[in-house]
Amino acid sequence: MLLMIVCGVLLVVGIVLTVLWSAERLVPPPTPAALVDDAGTPQSERPPRFDVHAAGLRVYLWWATVFTVVGTATGVLITGAGGRLVMRLLAATSPDATGGITEAQASVGDITLGGTISYLVIGALPAAFLSAALYLFVYPWLPRGRLGGPAFGAVLLVTLAPFVDPLRASNFDFRFVGPGWLSVVLFSALAVLHGAALAALAGRLSRSLPLVTRARWVGPSAPLVAAVVLVPVGVVLAFGAFVALVLPRVLPWLLAVRASRIGVITGRILLAVAVVAALPAFGAAVLSIVRD
């Protein structure tokens, strides 16, 4: 019971923050070239080698910190806490399934601390980090304002949920927990909420997170420590830092292309094509789950 109370509090915190910051828009940092050309930057604010390579690393660390913070926060507050509550509710509405073994080798009805941590590290956080990376790349293609985050969550729901989780019809858990329509409603709402939370947290953080400097580096970069929890994420971030240092113009160029007029039009077409292509599989998965 205590564990469910904690999950409920975490989910409420996530919902409140999402509502409060729902109008926030992600504001990207200056490009490395702009930082180098900024003659007004005080000497104390400059890293030891204030050139385009160091500037490229500073910009990359900003993006990496935003990615780590929003991925961790949404993974814990929404996907983690929310997903655990959904599982508990579905177990409560399926008393005949109590004691059954799920696809993840967990016992239906048993909500333990060890199982929750395992779900968080193996399921919730990887999904949250992946969605955070996708959001930071495609956010210029999304509707402006409060609809951007929920729209992103809906896109993820249609294009990924039927093939990966949480609405994968081949998951035999749906055969003994449910009802199916409730599973679809709860997991769909959680996916849309997750997208809204990503947008809100990323937007709010982008306006308050400073760039790393020689005199101020602990605070802005401290959240990167969270990547240690998931070693693959830490490895990817470390490799990205090396690339940003050696090739400082690659990341800004890529981000500028995807945010250009042609890039936005192309991106929106790609998203629309992906949704249309995935709709048959999504519909089939929903029907299969509802009928089980």
Tokens of 67: 């990615």
Tokens of 127: 């999904």
Higher per-residue pLDDT: 34 or 76 = 76
User: Mean pLDDT throughout 253-278?
Assistant: 93
User: Mean pLDDT throughout 1-19?
Assistant: 91
Which of 7, 225, 12, 199 is CA-nearest to residue 119? 7
Q: Residue 187: what pLDDT? A: 92
Q: How confident is the model at residue 102 (pLDDT cuts 50, 70, 90)?
A: low
Q: How confident is the model at residue 214 (pLDDT cuts 50, 70, 90)?
A: low
User: Mean pLDDT throughout 89-93?
Assistant: 80
- What value does the mean pLDDT of the chain take? 83
Q: Residue 49: what pLDDT? A: 45
**Number of neighbouring beta carbons within 10 Å of residue 256:** 13
User: Mean pLDDT throughout 58-87?
Assistant: 91
- Taking CA atoms, 22 is separated from 11, 155, 246, in Å, by 16, 18, 37
Q: How confident is the model at residue 171 (pLDDT cuts 50, 70, 90)?
A: confident
How far apart are alpha carbons 2 and 169 in whole angstroms?
32
How far apart are alpha carbons 76 and 124 in whole angstroms?
7
How far apart are alpha carbons 282 and 288 in whole angstroms?
10
In this predicted structure, the answer to whether residue 48 has a pLDDT above a threshold of 50 is no
Exposed (0-12), middle (13-18) or buried (19+): which is 261, by Cβ within 10 Å? exposed
Which of 131, 115, 117 is CA-nearest to residue 166? 131
Higher per-residue pLDDT: 109 or 128 = 128
Helix axes 81-92, 2-20, angle to 10 degrees: 130
The domain limits of the chain are: 2-11+51-210+222-291
In this predicted structure, the answer to whether residue 135 has a pLDDT above a threshold of 90 is yes
In this predicted structure, the answer to whether residue 157 has a pLDDT above a threshold of 70 is yes
Contact predicate 288/169, CB 8 Å: yes
How far apart are alpha carbons 93 and 179 in whole angstroms?
7
- Judged by average pLDDT, the poorest of 17-31, 140-154, 193-207, 272-286 is 17-31
Give me the percent of the chain exceeding a pLDDT of 90: 39
User: Mean pLDDT throughout 260-273?
Assistant: 95
User: Mean pLDDT throughout 145-160?
Assistant: 94
Place of tokens 């951007």: 148
User: Mean pLDDT throughout 122-147?
Assistant: 92
